[in-house]
Chains A and B, each alone.
Chain A
Amino acid sequence: MDRRDFLKILGVGGAGVGAGIIFGQATKSPGAKLIPYLIPPEDLIPGIGTWYAGVCRECPAGCGTLVKVMEGRAKKIEGNPKHPVNKGRLCAIGQAGLQTLYNPDRIKGPLKRSGERGSGQYTEITWEEALGAISKNLVELGDTKDGQGAYLLTQPLRGSLKGLVTGFMAAYGSSNIVEYSLYDNKALANANRESMGVDAIPYHDIANTNYLLSFGADFSTTWLSPVNLSMGYGEMRQGEGRNARGRLVQVEPRLSATGMSADEWVPAAPGTEGILALSMAYAVIEKGLAKGNDSSAWRSLLSKYRPEAVASVTDVSAEKIYRLAVEFAGNRPSMAIAGDTMASYSGGGACLAAVNVLNHVAGNLGISGGVLANPETAVNGTRPGRLGSLASLIEDASKSKVKALIVYNSNPVFTTPKSIKAKEALGNIPFIASFSSFMDETAVMADIILPSHTAIEDWGDDFPEPGPGIQAAAISQPAVSPVFNTKGVGDIFLAIAKKTGGKTAEKFAWDWYGDYLRDAWKGIYSANKDVAAGSLTFDDFWVKLLANGGWWEAVKDGKKTALSVNLKAAEKLLQNEPCPFDGDPKDFPLYLVLHPHTRLRDGSTANNPWLQEVPDPVTSVVWGSWVEINPATAGRLGIRQGDMAAIESPSGKITLPVYLYEGIRPDTVGIPVGQGHSALGRYAKDRDSNPIDILPAKNDGSTGLSALNSTRVRVSPAGVAGRLAKFEAVGKELGRNIVKTMTPEEFRKTGREAI
């Protein structure tokens, strides 16, 4: 780039925008590296930060970010105040995205396997060699008319990257794309499709609800869109525009971080929450509080869930079910939500559908303060569902049908039970290429590794799912130049397309992903010109996009989809029996309930020292895993706080340090998912055990995702002292009344209402 071009680019945009384009260009032209300090870029004033808009990719929520860059280095990530999902807020995991970017254990350049598969021995190669190797493999596969032998395993994708990847595979001649991650919204979207005919996640309007009934939804830390839902929670409790303080009731066998803030905890027996929801729906009708004119039909359908009939199964008394139902329906707008604990049961889809039925009967679908449909079409067309299933990939691989596999940011070896034999299946595949940024348990199986950029270094766009109730499309630009010798994942696909030749090369003639993205957005521009751009030309619109971090627009009234549960469909879905658990209750007396680690989610962020060190809200444990046991149960078993305990299921055995927790049913033990890595890097490796290892090979019935809450276990002292690093010393106030509280009656005396 010469000086004239440089000034031209600066002329196009404001401070932030210009530099974003420069960084994109800098990855191409080596000359650009010489220029910056001789003629400093406009945004580089020593000591003054420049903020670039982007999208957080540490979890699938899709929060908008602003990255503070000083002297070419990223210093801080904050929420983008303009982005409708998080409005300037950002969770712990999002903040720690910086340590993903600057992580010392990132893969620093392309690698080729030199030792045994899985040994982690690799030699460095050039990008040219790496791209050559993978395209040679694909071309050879194409020549033998076996293009269908090429598979792609990726994290769930959205936006233009999904378009590029699916287009690439189609042009190459393979339809085998599998989108997989452990905690996926897919289960909820499936349940919504089957019960309401809407294959999407609706918007949960917590801010305006009076009564939130959460069935195992840990929305403060991990469920769906934690920042967005937490913002709603703050409003619900003490919003300045509200008169009444909303109430939160949490139904779950193990009190989660969100449950800890609840006004009431209903510890129903594990696997019976769906039955409880249906029983409450019946009670709502019985007490004459049902909305809509179909309640008599629902009444006959639900009559077998009479509170008196299900009380013993659910371990919740009939009076309590009636009381909760009356509170729920009598304080509209109210809302019931169903989270990961429910989705993780074997047959969890029925539990999720049951919660939809409860909302339907109480009239909470499609109202403000209830469950609202997101705009049916995102800006780029319909919301795409998930592609492929991991189970069929593993089956194909064990039958040697998979000839080549490309893996991008998906780690089934860590997140599936050993009994599924994902690792063995991968071992069967003759050629595996990984685009992972980290050497995780699946990447270590690869023959060749083409490391991709992290979010802060790459171009991208995003259409958040679940949406924030309005149309939203966000754009992400590189805030810093690449830290290591990596490439954007879009660029890797384009380069392979070029090298593979034939149809793929014709279809994907772009030199770099930034151009592809810009062209993709020309479509969004022309489709939404009136509302999005007004009189702006595309170039001006693009500059505005980069400066704002995206485009969002409230849909005009009337375009919103009405939600309702179809009685006929529900009839087939509803569960009659509690969700099944493996193991004979006599030999294995305790239910095992897994939950996503509040910082590490499915374990993908485990190599982040901040996230390892920020204490878990429930137990305050850092840098390790634990098993939660009720003190009464532990006393019976002769286990004390911090002891190592052996947890044995019909499928395996692990040992973990014990955390005694009053917030868990005496017949249940809880373990977080996320620790117990055998790879991924120095901060993640060899930290206790992975509880997924001891699960049976069961799925949730509708999506093919592993059912995490599907086995019983027995617990015994392991006979060794454990080291549990936790912040909590006593964890009780001991009558000191340090944190003062107010009863609802006292609160009402201050002139406001409390539900």
Chain B
Amino acid sequence: MSGITKKIADTLKDFRRPGYYEKFDYRWGMVIDLDKCNGCGACVAACYAENNIPSVGKEECGKARAMNWIRIERYIEGQYPDVKVKFIPIMCQHCSKAPCELGCPVYATYHNQEGLNVQVYNRCVGTFTCATYCPYDVRRFNWFSYKWDKPLDEQLNPDVSVREMGIMEKCSFCIQRIRAAKDKAKDQGRGVADGEVTPACAQSCPTGALTFGDLNDPESRVSRLAKDPRRFRLLEELNTEPAIIYLKKVSDNGTEGHGE
């Protein structure tokens, strides 16, 4: 490999090295307990409110163009009367080895130092590459510039940009809340405490299925829960190394062998 190519390859290698995030203060992650989740959808509504997600209406929803950043996937198995249902909330998995980041020609999506998969709206030119690379189907494309009927626009959160036609968007782990918490902690000369920052979805969850926090802090709640023997990661075989750890639902007809 010559000069510039080698340099890029080295940088990428460094970027991929295990333990990279330990050099930094935080490694944001989430644990989702599927045994607690009852599929109520409070997280979905909370995300709409926090992140200025437009409602697109029946026609667009019917074309699979709803803009929701988090969804409750639901699988119904079996036939009457032996029916088993599984709920799973799915949002951007903030993969350490994110396929979407490799594809973007304009570096609109990249990995930040705290483990977040970040989308820079100003860079995005709407090639749709990231959405086709993402195995989790969590990226949402603005097919139009959506309007809020007045005065619904009064509710728009000033901490989050309103996106326009041609832009790809997705879950940001409520980066505006992380920024605010870090700023506050910095002003007070300390680190962000466990539980100080919570994305809108985890904040609202009635059953407490969603826990957010710093995976670098071994004492944090999320780190403790991440060691649960029920842990698994979504489509783990793809080696995307998601920052979201799911805890298995306990079910009479469990479909899996022992934990990992």
Residue ranges of A at the interface with B (Cβ–Cβ < 8 Å): 47, 70-71, 73-79, 86, 88-96, 98-99, 101-104, 220-221, 226-227, 230-231, 233-235, 237-238, 245, 255, 257-258, 260-261, 263-265, 267, 483, 598-599, 609-615, 617-618, 620, 622-624, 630, 632, 661-666, 682, 723-725, 727-729, 731-733, 737-744, 746-747, 749-750, 754
Contact = CB atoms under 8 A, between A and B. Distances in A.
The interface size bin for chain B is: 35 or more
B236 to A, nearest CB: 9
Contacts of B250: 237, 245, 741-744, 747, 754
A699 to B, nearest CB: 30
Interface string B135-173: 000000000000001111111111100000000000000
Contacts of B78: 662
Nearest to B55: A609
Nearest to A88: B203
A714 B207 CA distance: 39
Interface of B: 33-42, 44-46, 48-50, 55-59, 61-62, 64, 66, 68, 71-81, 83, 85-88, 149-159, 200, 203-209, 229-230, 232, 234-235, 246-259
The 3 closest A-B pairs by CB, nearest first: A234-B207, A743-B254, A230-B206
A728 B74 contact: yes
A221 B207 CA distance: 12
B85 A663 contact: yes
A226 B76 contact: no
Contacts of A661: 76
Contacts of A265: 81, 83
B206 A614 contact: no
A615 B230 contact: no
A237 B206 contact: no
A231 B42 contact: no
Contact of A90 (B64, B150, B204): B204
A89 B149 contact: no
Contacts of B154: 73-74, 102, 483
Contacts of B155: 73-75, 98-99, 101-102
A665 B45 contact: no
Contacts of A665: 80-81
Nearest to A76: B49
Contact of A234 (B36, B64, B88, B247): B36
Given A261-B38, A743-B254, A731 B80 contact: no
A617 B58 contact: no
Which residue among B35, B42, B44, B234 has the maximum number of chain A CB atoms within 10 Å of its CB? B42
B80 A238 contact: no
A77 B49 contact: yes
Nearest to A613: B55
B43 to A, nearest CB: 8
Contacts of B259: 742, 746, 750
Which residue among A261, A682, A732 has the maximum number of chain B CB atoms within 10 Å of its CB? A261
A607 to B, nearest CB: 11
Contacts of A90: 42, 46, 204, 206
B80 A725 contact: no
B40 A257 contact: yes
A677 to B, nearest CB: 14
A731 B250 CA distance: 20
A386 B257 CA distance: 54
Contacts of B252: 263-264, 743-744
B157 A75 contact: yes
10 contacts: A78-B203, A89-B205, A90-B206, A220-B40, A234-B207, A234-B208, A727-B61, A741-B254, A744-B254, A747-B250
A614 B204 contact: no
Nearest to A91: B42
Contacts of A630: 80
Given A76-B157, A743-B253, A744-B252, A623 B57 contact: yes
Given A95-B49, A610-B45, A662 B83 contact: yes
B205 A739 contact: no
A99 B45 CA distance: 11
B40 A230 contact: yes
Contacts of B79: 662
Contacts of B246: 739-740
Contacts of A614: 41, 44-45, 48, 68
A246 B17 CA distance: 42
